[in-house]
Amino acid sequence: MKKLSILASTLFIGGIIALVSCTKTGPEGPAGQNGANGATGATGPIIYGTISGNVIMTNIYGVAQTAYSGGYILLKNAGGTTTLDSVYANTTTGAFTITNVPTGTYNMYCIYAGYGTNVHQNVEVNGNLQVDNKIAAIPTFSISTSADSIRHRTNVNYLYGTIPADPTGARTILVFAGSSSATSAAPGTYSLTDNVVVPADSTTFTITTPVNNFYDAGFTYGSTVYFAIYGAANNFNYGDYTNYTYGQLYYTAISASPLGSATITLP
């Protein structure tokens, strides 16, 4: 019996040693030739799409127009530096179609003489797309005089001016306020905007701006505010687009240059 017990103990200890040696982990093998993620697959096929839409036109009073002849649509690269395609809108309906547009991001311009250019930024094409263009006529009216005054009782600035009478309809005046004499409609030169609609046949206008609006825009006590006054289409937001450098809007349906200017000193 003793010999059997010794033999059983020997076999048990030997089994443990064998088990331990079988579960021992060796060094890790080398990685595959293409890395953990494998090889990059082949480039997928290019998808071609169609950009279609309509041109929507208004005059300076906001009345719809249908003078579709003479304008064209440009498709440019995302930076707006290279023209990739151009088409004319239908002279009767204003409809247009740009075909065989490869997948990608583009800028689209709608250009008509006498109208503010409509700019669509970062148009993503991945198949067929509908993009309409809204444009408004550039104003040709003038402003005779302009002046400013702050009423301290109400803490409001009043910008006054005179304008020739026009029985056809209301007109819009758009004002840009900035901190230097270089203030204009160009992004980066102005800090805030304001506007007023002048009724038909009216010969005067007044734009009222709370003084706190200037402080909220970054002006300080005693600083000079410069105003650049532009004529604007009633739909002056037609065609506007963002200047990404300054994060401000660039307006296209306004007079080519300021019609007047004025300054105030903040109280």
Domains of the chain by residue range = 48-136, 145-265
Buried b (16+ CB within 10 A) or exposed e, 43-81: eeeeeebebebbbbbbbbbbeebebbeebebbbbeeeee
Where is pLDDT greater, at 47 or 253? Answer: 253
Is the pLDDT reported for residue 19 higher than 50? no
Q: What is the second-level CATH architecture of the domain 145-265?
A: Sandwich (2.60)
Neighbouring CB atoms inside 10 A of 106's CB total 24
pLDDT average, residue stretch 145-154: 86
The pTM of the whole model exceeds 0.85: no
Q: Is the pLDDT of residue 107 over 70?
A: yes
The answer to whether domain 48-136 and domain 145-265 are alike in fold is yes
Is the pLDDT score of 91 beyond 70? Answer: yes
Q: Which CATH class is domain 48-136?
A: mainly beta
